[in-house]
Amino acid sequence: MSEKVVIALGGNAILQPKQEATYENQLENVRKSSEVIARIAKQGHKVIITHGNGPQVGNILRQNEEAKHVVPALPLDVCSAESQGFIGYMMEQTLKNELIKVGLKRDVVGILTQTEVSLDDPAFENPDKPIGVFYDEEEAKQLAREKGWVVAEDAGRGWRRVVPSPMPQSIVDAPTIKRLVESDAIVVACGGGGIPVVLNEDGTYQGVEAVIDKDRSGFRLAIETKADTFMILTDVKNVFVNYGKPDQKALGVISLEEAKQYQAEGQFSAGSMGPKMEAAIKFAELGGKAIICSLDEADLAMEGKAGTQIHN
């Protein structure tokens, strides 16, 4: 049965850890992701794709900072728009090519997407979203002193710059995205969580310097486009409980009640699986099907044969 599915691609789908951030490396990673998405489209589903941009927006920001004595630096929301544009271009091109290979004629459209946030969000007082490249502790703290950055350790993988990550309130371009996907186009939207903007009292929008968590904005995108399934792709095949312990267990098909119980036990770390499970649980609460799985098993997960699946 055909479903409308929002697919949230993890950062590894664009750039692997410690991989050099060349255009060629990122294009090849995106192409591999597009192979899997084409298989899902071949199953007859309507597809909306969103993706992370942490390494990319961090690199663009650093390019701006390093060259600011030559070219004026741009704010973080504009850097986010730049990353959304070039990743969207790669996804449009590679996915169109992979669709041709499987015999499908579907339009692929990238939408430069704005996401509304609130200036009252406490995240602006407590930056915690990692972006950009990894550093060792000494180098990160030196950069913090020199550049006024806030830095923090990222899930034991190294140190990174952290910026505000406010909760998404709405996807400004959701009505347009919904119309496009209902016309059978495959839409790439909300890259990097979307470009963060705030709504002024006069009804106009303006950008703010932040990075929105792509799983949280993916949830909002799935709700506002009335998706049947919200799929979060990551670098593990399943969500685990008691992760890293002798009694660790992979979760397959679980009920909403089970997922909430594991969440209440603190099974999912804030810097890793926490936001993914938070978004998946919220979507299941509203009657949808939520899936967390690896990229290479995404088409199997759509058939109920792989991944962690949460059903209400």
Please give the structure tokens belonging to residue 122.
Answer: 């406490």
Statement: residue 172 has pLDDT above 90 = yes
| pLDDT, position 54 | 80
Reported as a single tens digit per residue, the pLDDT across 177-188 is 999 999 999 999
Reported as a single tens digit per residue, the pLDDT across 110-162 is 999 999 999 999 999 999 888 777 889 999 999 899 888 899 998 788 998 88
266 CA to centre of own chain:
22
Q: Report the range of poorest mean pLDDT among 1-10, 101-110, 193-202.
A: 1-10
Please give the structure tokens belonging to residue 285.
Answer: 């609460």
CA distance 160 to 162: 6
Say if CB 276 and CB 232 are below 8 A apart. Answer: yes
Judge whether 12 counts as a catalytic residue. yes
CA distance 10 to 55: 11
| pLDDT, position 59 | 87
Judge whether 129 counts as a catalytic residue. yes
The torsion angles phi and psi of 227, rounded to 5 degrees, stand at -75, 150
Reported as a single tens digit per residue, the pLDDT across 215-256 is 899 999 999 999 999 999 988 899 999 988 899 999 999 999
Reported as a single tens digit per residue, the pLDDT across 68-106 is 899 998 989 999 999 999 999 999 999 999 999 999 999
Q: Which of 276, 288, 289, 307 is catalytic?
A: 276
Q: Which of 46, 129, 178, 289 is catalytic?
A: 129
Q: Among residues 251, 231, 230, which one has the least CA distance to residue 240? A: 251
Judge whether 200 counts as a catalytic residue. no
Statement: residue 12 has pLDDT above 80 = no
Choice between 12 and 195, residue whose per-residue pLDDT is larger: 195
CA distance 22 to 16: 11
CA distance 6 to 109: 14
| pLDDT, position 270 | 75
Judge whether 11 counts as a catalytic residue. yes
Judge whether 305 counts as a catalytic residue. no
Q: Which of 12, 29, 59, 64 is catalytic?
A: 12
* CA dist list (Å): 299 to 1, 21, 38, 107, 303: 14, 27, 9, 20, 7
Mean pLDDT of the chain: 93
Q: Which of 10, 11, 218, 307 is catalytic?
A: 11
| pLDDT, position 55 | 83
CA distance 95 to 106: 10
| pLDDT, position 271 | 67
Instruction: Please report, rounded to a whole number, the percentage of residues in the chain having pLDDT higher than 70.
Output: 100
Q: Which of 214, 218, 288, 307 is catalytic?
A: 214
Tell me if the pTM is above 0.75: yes
